[in-house]
Structure 1
């Protein structure tokens, strides 16, 4: 082969590999809430939360609350009780970190 032949072949293989990886990673399914439950949830069972934003792979806005046993609950973002639960979780995480996660109330709280 010509001196540039090996280099061209290498870059062609590298380019094809990158394209295949990009297509594969683009098809990773997201775990989205399809609906929300407006019923209030006791803040004492919630240990974590995350926000789902519509348009970023999911069709609706939602707050995902994580219960002590790991169960995920989809709730509406704009409800006042949801904001109180989120505030409670922030305080709980701060408290548990300060107590080194040794208190009973820190069961299920992820270490930061």
Structure 2
């Protein structure tokens, strides 16, 4: 009987591990563990997103994606972070108008 239990147990664990219901636990991997206080050069940033405490993260952050695809965590309350976000939003609005 023991040889039959092991494969069933393995299958059950695999199903639980890949279950969509556990997706929120995997989202924690997207959180920043720390943020950089050094300003990030605006010309290397192509996108951003917010990661907030209400989203389940311990450290609130703005995650900037660079032109090379790296993700850099920055503090949302810094003026240099706001300037980069405003520039990205302005560039995005400008490109949307040109494509219309």
Name the SS for the 1:87 alignment partner. Answer: helix
Out of 14, 19, 24, the residue aligned to residue 24 of structure 1 is: 19
1:47 paired to 2:46: yes
Alignment of 1:93-108 (within 5 A): 93-100=92-99
When Rg is computed on C-alpha atoms for both structures, the one with the higher figure is 1
Residue-pair matches, total: 80
How high is the TM-score relative to the length of structure 2?
A: 0.70
Q: Deviations over 1:50-98 (max 9, x none)?
A: 1001142211100011111221110001000000000000011122223
> C-alpha separation between the residues in 1 aligned to 2:98 and 2:69?
21
How high is the TM-score relative to the length of structure 1?
A: 0.63
Structure 1: 5+ residue runs without aligned partners?
1-19, 101-112
| Larger helix fraction of residues | 2
Structure 2: 5+ residue runs without aligned partners?
1-14
Q: How big is the alpha-carbon RMSD for the aligned residues of Structure 1 and Structure 2?
A: 2.0
Question: Which residue does 1:83 correspond to in 2?
Answer: 82
Name the SS for the 2:53 alignment partner. Answer: coil
> C-alpha separation between the residues in 2 aligned to 1:39 and 1:67?
15
